[in-house]
Amino acid sequence: MNARLLTQDHAMGEIIALAGTIAPSRASVLIQAERGSGKGLLATEIHSRSTRSSRPVLAVRCAGVPSNLIEQELFGYEKDSFDGALESTAGKFELAQGGTLVLDEVGELDSRLQAKLLRALQDGEIERMGARRSIKIDIRLITTSSRNLSEAVKRGQFREDLYQRLSVVTLTLPRLQDRPGDVRYLAEQFIRSAAEQYKKPVSGISQEAISMLELHQWPENVRELKQVIDRAVAGSQNMLLQSKDIQITRTNISQTIDMMPEAVHLDSSNKNAWEPGATLNDIERNVILQALSFHHGNRTHTAKALGISIRTLRNKLAEYRKLGIEA
């Protein structure tokens, strides 16, 4: 496979190993994770290790698509079954016969389609829209969701009987920020592939740039990291990526500052560095976060500007994270 899940994280490695173990079975699999975490790649990997690997693996996106279009794509339709149905068309259930069907963001299906999907799985057959005969289906179903479907069931937003059918095996992928060491490892892998793609001489990344990447929270996970590295490599003229090559929106630090008590905020136009209610630790923390934000997350530049060592800065940031302040 050209595209595969990359990791050095122990927990992530265990999930990939479990996926390989259950791949040869017929069990339906539910993959849950935040967007950009690699749900689609894991689904494809399960198919590639299964007894169905020589047959098709097809995907249908369920989020942001009108339900009637999802129904047409999944079940197919007969000629003249609706305006614009100029010829009979097979749906993905038929086209994936003997192989694997992946439903991306299955939690976004409306109640009508949830019921229709459940019937297809219970009966092992489907009907095209406008058809009078049933078609037997033989597929392995893998579903993905960025929502917690068990919670959706409790809220009455997803059918419990369908959830039980889909989640014979449930795999939950960790967020990138919960995979220590993977930011550096993945960045290095993405640099190599991007350098080859864009015909660039880039072969590595500076420690400053790595520190900048490690500070970011990666709300869009691995997908976002790859995009940042691709953009940096495409625009670089050097053999080593520098912090100036890294373009990311550092919202987390500024959001943290905005959420702090009003007494702790320092106005640069106010020469009085203290206000009632603020302790010395509050002031120090605020100054460090503001300096870090000013230097776009660059720890080396921040430490130099504050006159402290990079080790001291790292220790301070570790203390803030224990307090629930992401920095």
170-224 residue pLDDT tens? 999 999 999 978 999 999 999 999 999 999 999 999 998 998 898 888 999 999 9
Q: Are 20 and 165 found together in one domain?
A: yes
Q: What is the pLDDT of residues 91-113, one digit of tens each?
A: 999 999 999 999 999 999 999 99
Determine, yes or no, domain membership for 2: no
Q: DSSP code of 129?
A: B
- Same domain for 115 and 20, yes or no, is yes
**Residue 3 is assigned to a structural domain of this protein:** no
Report in angstroms the alpha-carbon separations of 86 from 69, 81, 82, 283.
15, 9, 9, 70
Please provide the average confidence, as pLDDT, over all residues in the chain.
Answer: 88
pLDDT of residue 256: 44
Total structural domains within the chain: 3
Q: Identify the domain boundary among 230, 245, 260.
A: 245
DSSP string for residues in 9-67: -HHHHHHHHHHHHHTTS---EEEE--TTSSHHHHHHHHHHTSTTTTS-EEEEE-SSS-H
Residue 4 lies in a domain: no
Whole-angstrom distance, CA of residue 202 vs CA of residue 241: 7
pLDDT at 263: 42
Is residue 229 within 8 Å of residue 187, measured between CB atoms?
A: yes
Q: Is 162 in the same domain as 21?
A: yes
What domain range includes position 281? 251-322
Residue finishing a domain among 245, 271, 295: 245
CATH at 224:
1.10.8.60
At 262 the pLDDT is 45
Of 191, 226, 245, which residue is a domain's last? 245
Could you tell me the two tokens for 134? 């049933």
- The strand pairing partners of 228, in sequence order, are none
For residues 226 and 268, state if they share a domain: no
In this structure, what CATH number is given to the domain that contains residue 109? 3.40.50.300
Burial 46-62 (b: 16+ CB within 10 A, else e): bbeebebeebebbbbeb
- Average pLDDT per 10 consecutive residues for the chain, totaling 327 residues: 78 96 96 96 96 97 95 94 91 97 98 97 96 95 97 96 97 93 95 96 93 88 96 94 84 48 44 60 82 82 82 86 72
Whether residue 71 is found in the same domain as residue 150: yes
Angle CA 168–153–99, to nearest 5: 35
Q: What's the pTM value of the predicted model, to 2 decimals?
A: 0.75
From residue 99, how far is each of 40, 47, 67, 142, 218 by CA, in Å? 16, 8, 24, 11, 34
What is the crossing angle of helices 280-294 and 310-322, to 10°? 110
The structure tokens listed for 263 are 């007494």
SS3 assignment, position 238 = coil
